[in-house]
């Protein structure tokens, strides 16, 4: 168990357009999901925390109007990169937190590689 999927796995878009990335927990319910970004040769950086049925919490320096997060159900969170620019090109990875038994393990999706031209 603890499988998380992401779609699409890679996307190329033109500067100024918007891209939506979906994150699904396939075999468990996740009240909390997280969105991370990883630039080449760097570690993962938390962008925002997505809570089912409420507004996302964004990390300092992450523009909430640019990175729109929606967590409409216990198994789906979406990240929309609006008005994308080349500097938004990165590896976007979501995780879902499985709780129970005192554990707070996060399981990651396979990631979405975004290239903005």
Partner 1 sequence: QKEVEQNSGPLSVPEGAIASLNCTYSDRGSQSFFWYRQYSGKSPELIMSIYSNGDKEDGRFTAQLNKASQYVSLLIRDSQPSDSATYLCAVNGGGGADGLTFGKGTHLIIQP
| Contact residues: partner 1, CB under 8 A | 2, 32, 34, 36, 42-46, 48-49, 59, 93, 95, 97, 99, 102-111
Closest separation in Å from C-beta 82 to partner 1: 21
Nearer to partner 1, 14 or 103 (CB): 103
| Short-list 70, 68, 77, 66, CA closest to 30 | 77
Give the dihedral of Cα atoms 76, 54, 29, 70; nearest 10 deg.
10
Residue 38, Cβ density class (10 Å: 0-12 exposed, 13-18 middle, ≥19 buried):
middle
Q: Which two three-digit tokens encode residue 61?
A: 């320096």
Nearer to partner 1, 40 or 86 (CB): 40
Closest separation in Å from C-beta 65 to partner 1: 20
Closest separation in Å from C-beta 105 to partner 1: 5
Per the CB < 8 A criterion, the answer to whether 108 and 23 are in contact is no
Nearer to partner 1, 14 or 101 (CB): 101
């Amino acid at each position: 168990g603890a499988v998380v999927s992401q779609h699409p796995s890679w996307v190329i878009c033109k500067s100024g357009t918007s891209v939506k990335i979906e994150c699904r927990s396939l075999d468990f319910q996740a009240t909390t999901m997280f969105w991370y970004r990883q630039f080449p040769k760097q570690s993962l950086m938390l962008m925002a925390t997505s809570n089912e049925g409420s507004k996302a919490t964004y990390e300092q320096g992450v523009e909430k109007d640019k990175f729109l997060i929606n967590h409409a159900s216990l198994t789906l969170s979406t990240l929309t990169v609006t008005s994308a620019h080349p500097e938004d090109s990165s590896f976007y990875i979501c995780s879902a937190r499985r709780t129970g038994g005192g554990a707070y393990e996060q399981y990651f999706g396979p990631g979405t590689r975004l290239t903005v031209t």
